[in-house]
Chains A and B, each alone.
Chain A
Amino acid sequence: MSLAEEYTDTTDASRLERGLAYFQRNSRAYLLIAPTALFLLAVVGYPILETFRLSLYQSPADSNIETFVGLQHYAEIVTSDIFYQLLWQTGRWVVVGVAGKTVMGLLIAVHLKGDIRGRKFFRTAFLIPWGIPYAISAVVFRWIEHPQFGFLNAILLKLGLIEQGIGILGNPDIAWLGVVVADIWIGTPFMAIIFLAGLQSIPQELYEAAAIDGAERWHQFCYITLPQLKSVILIATLLSTIWTFVSFDTIWTMTGGGPLSTTATLVIHIYQVGLQNGNLGRGAAYSVVGFLFLFVFAIIYLRVYTRGGDEL
């Protein structure tokens, strides 16, 4: 044995020893995180692997027969028209929904910021839509948009804007808008609260100085509020993008993806194909496509969240 080999050998052994000693010293720390780590591995990690595996098989939910088909599902997905229709529908659903929530949230936050009377009442009231089950909000919006008995039609009729009731959710051209409205209503409170927290950290002196310089309120908003809120807006819209992308309960309760699949998004399609039609393999392949999107969102989010690197 050469000197060099002997040298490597001893470091290997001592590295192992050092590792064991380190683990023993910190055994309590590891023991305390172990249940959480194992639980998440079993409930999230394993299903992820299972989804990847399933996506390579033809696998009906109601039987144990699985046939290996390789990448066939993926090939069929990217060559199908429905896939591009879904991407387009998901895109407009996310963009319009997040934009609506951001604007409404800002509007509420800016007006709640000052020293107003009944602030707690307003804050609680604005919060409620976020806290009730999406399925309930969804049926209420279905009722509002009901072609015969709905409030919306009653108001539009009263204003003379339409001559007879329209069925928004049954119309393939506008059904998605009918669902987006409900989604914006549900998602606005989160934005409002986050923006309100952000607004309160802006130094008041900035506004006072601007007021002395005679800046109009709109200018104050554009040149002080928006730039100061930039990082909060970024984080909030990112989170909202992810949640809107994966939003299921609202669409499923309002339209089930119809009419003619025009309100279906990628995740609605995952559910329809994988669980409703029982084609687990194809559903899993669509899920993997969903993973890819979430993966990109997650990387951006982590980047923004850990910027500075002093969090941990």
Chain B
Amino acid sequence: MTMAGYDRSRLRKVRLYGVLLALLGVMMLPFYTMFSSTLKPENEIFSAPATLVPSDPTIQAYLDVWTQTDVLLWIANSFVISLGTVALTLALAIPAAYSCARNDFVGKRTFLLSVLVVQMFAPVVLIVGLFDVITQFGLFNTYLAVIIPAAAFTLPFNVWMLYGYFKTIPVALEESARIDGASQFQILTKIVLPLTKPALVASITYTFLYAWNRLLFVLTFLTDSAKYNVPRGVFSMVGALQTDWRMMLTVSVIGIVPLLILFAFLEEYIVAGMTAGAVKE
């Protein structure tokens, strides 16, 4: 490589990382604002104009938040709702996806396309009809009032994701197990599902996040504040006249910690899930 060529490629690298870091800075700025505000003492948060760096950092807000808000309760509720949604969605999606991947039957195409259309039917345009249905079935103010709609709207992704993955598992594997005397249930749980692990992890992560993050269903179907999830809890802190920004931002930071842990470990699966939903190979 010539000297000039070397310089040019180095310049290009510097420029590339420069742009990347700048983009990262823009995307991370809201997190920085949130986090740095929670480290400011009360009088500094409410000083104008805002200080860019806390002058006298303190973790007092993190000590106050446990006694002044219901953050632990909200996190626990979020877990109940998310895990419930994951369980219900998988219980429905696995058999359906497996059936479509292994059999050819009249109505399969219609079924799969109808499922895809459900994904298009965003919950908010259905919310008035759903409200009527949830009330009719006496589910109002129960966890199920949130879990059931969340499962319905995560099902399409799960069915399609697992359907695509099941198709890649060779039938020969199942046939040889059948010859060895395995039952259909054993084949599914002992052979097919372990091989489907990447798709299952992606499904579970997607469904978990969906249920964890949604405000709409909880806002509409749960009025009992003891059942609020994290987003609803944060929303409940937005006051009409006065908002306790210090506590609200601290709850927000704590509320996203479980998600950050999830992201650190499952980044690959989340990406796999996001791409599988939209782009064909």
Chain A interface residues toward B at CB < 8 A:
22, 26, 28-33, 35-37, 39-40, 42-44, 46-51, 54, 61, 107-108, 111-112, 114, 116, 120, 122-137, 139-144, 146, 148-151, 153-155, 157-158, 165, 185, 188, 190, 193-194, 197-198, 232, 235-236, 239, 242-243, 245-246, 248-249, 252-253, 267, 270-271, 274-275, 280, 283-284, 287, 290-291, 294, 297-298, 301-302, 305-306, 311-312
| A185 CB, min distance to chain B CBs, angstroms | 7
Tell whether A32 pairs with B98 under 8 Å between CB atoms, given A39-B152, A50-B129, A270-B127.
yes
Are B27 and A126 neighbours in the complex by a CB distance under 8 Å? yes
Q: Is the C-beta of B175 less than 8 angstroms from some C-beta in chain A? A: no
Contact check: which of B126, B235, B238 meets A44 at CB < 8 Å? B126
Are B116 and A302 neighbours in the complex by a CB distance under 8 Å? yes
Q: Is the C-beta of B4 less than 8 angstroms from some C-beta in chain A? A: no
**What's the tally of chain B residues with a CB closer than 8 Å to chain A?**
100
Tell whether A51 pairs with B108 under 8 Å between CB atoms, given A44-B152, A134-B215.
no
Considering the complex, give the chain B residue whose CB is closest to the CB of A242. Answer: B120
Are B48 and A148 neighbours in the complex by a CB distance under 8 Å? yes
Tell whether A294 pairs with B271 under 8 Å between CB atoms, given A35-B96, A133-B231.
no
| B203 CB, min distance to chain A CBs, angstroms | 14
| A181 CB, min distance to chain B CBs, angstroms | 10
Are B27 and A36 neighbours in the complex by a CB distance under 8 Å? no
Q: Is the interface of A mostly helix, strand, loop or mixed?
A: helix
Question: What 1/0 mask marks residues of chain B from 101 to 131 whose CB sits below 8 Å from any chain A CB?
Answer: 0110111110111111110111111111111
Q: How far is the CA of A252 from the CA of B23 in the complex (A)?
A: 27
Q: A270-B124, A294-B125, A305-B280 are in contact. List 4 more A-B contacts (CB 8 A).
A: A111-B23, A136-B255, A139-B252, A185-B30
Contact check: which of A31, A157, A194 meets B49 at CB < 8 Å? A157
| A287 CB, min distance to chain B CBs, angstroms | 5
Are A40 and B234 neighbours in the complex by a CB distance under 8 Å? no
Residues on B with C-beta less than 8 A from A122 are: 20, 24
Q: How far is the CA of A133 from the CA of B256 in the complex (A)?
A: 8
Q: How far is the CA of A72 from the CA of B240 in the complex (A)?
A: 35
Residues on A with C-beta less than 8 A from B128 are: 51, 54, 270, 274-275, 280, 283-284, 287
Q: How far is the CA of A207 from the CA of B118 in the complex (A)?
A: 40
Q: Is the C-beta of B200 less than 8 angstroms from some C-beta in chain A? A: no
Q: Nearest 5 A-B pairs (CB), nearest first?
A: A47-B129, A246-B122, A32-B99, A51-B129, A135-B231
Q: How far is the CA of A112 from the CA of B214 in the complex (A)?
A: 30
Q: Is the C-beta of B66 less than 8 angstroms from some C-beta in chain A? A: no
Considering the complex, give the chain B residue whose CB is closest to the CB of A25. Answer: B105
Tell whether A114 pairs with B16 under 8 Å between CB atoms, given A165-B48, A165-B49, A312-B109.
yes
Are A39 and B155 neighbours in the complex by a CB distance under 8 Å? yes
Tell whether A139 pairs with B95 under 8 Å between CB atoms, given A149-B47, A194-B274.
no
Are B132 and A32 neighbours in the complex by a CB distance under 8 Å? no
* 20 A-B residue pairings within 8 Å (CB atoms): A36-B115, A37-B96, A48-B126, A51-B128, A107-B23, A114-B16, A116-B16, A116-B20, A123-B267, A125-B27, A127-B270, A132-B259, A135-B234, A140-B31, A149-B48, A235-B279, A236-B279, A253-B238, A283-B128, A294-B122
Are A140 and B249 neighbours in the complex by a CB distance under 8 Å? yes
Q: Is the C-beta of B230 less than 8 angstroms from some C-beta in chain A? A: yes
Are A43 and B20 neighbours in the complex by a CB distance under 8 Å? no
Q: How far is the CA of A216 from the CA of B27 in the complex (A)?
A: 28
Contact check: which of A131, A134, A142, A194 meets B275 at CB < 8 Å? A194
Q: Is the C-beta of B63 less than 8 angstroms from some C-beta in chain A? A: no
Considering the complex, give the chain A residue whose CB is closest to the CB of B132. Answer: A50
Residues on A with C-beta less than 8 A from B100 are: 33
Tell whether A149 pairs with B46 under 8 Å between CB atoms, given A271-B127, A284-B128.
yes
Contact check: which of B27, B96, B215 meets A249 at CB < 8 Å? B215
Question: What 1/0 mask marks residues of chain B from 216 to 241 whose CB sits below 8 Å from any chain A CB?
Answer: 10011000000000111011011000
Residues on A with C-beta less than 8 A from B155 are: 36, 39-40
Q: Is the C-beta of B93 less than 8 angstroms from some C-beta in chain A? A: yes
Q: How far is the CA of A107 from the CA of B20 in the complex (A)?
A: 9
Are A136 and B93 neighbours in the complex by a CB distance under 8 Å? no
Contact check: which of A29, A124, A232 meets B267 at CB < 8 Å? A124
Considering the complex, give the chain A residue whose CB is closest to the CB of B112. Answer: A312
Q: How far is the CA of A144 from the CA of B220 in the complex (A)?
A: 27
Are B275 and A136 neighbours in the complex by a CB distance under 8 Å? no
Residues on A with C-beta less than 8 A from B275 are: 193-194, 197
Residues on B with C-beta less than 8 A from A283 are: 128
Tell whether A140 pairs with B34 under 8 Å between CB atoms, given A61-B131, A131-B270.
yes
The residue among B47, B117, B121 with the most chain A CB atoms within 10 A of its own CB is B121
Are A140 and B106 neighbours in the complex by a CB distance under 8 Å? no
Residues on A with C-beta less than 8 A from B220 are: 275
Q: Is the C-beta of B19 less than 8 angstroms from some C-beta in chain A? A: yes
Q: How far is the CA of A44 from the CA of B122 in the complex (A)?
A: 10
| A285 CB, min distance to chain B CBs, angstroms | 9
Are B103 and A29 neighbours in the complex by a CB distance under 8 Å? yes
| B114 CB, min distance to chain A CBs, angstroms | 7
Tell whether A270 pairs with B125 under 8 Å between CB atoms, given A144-B33, A149-B47, A232-B279.
yes
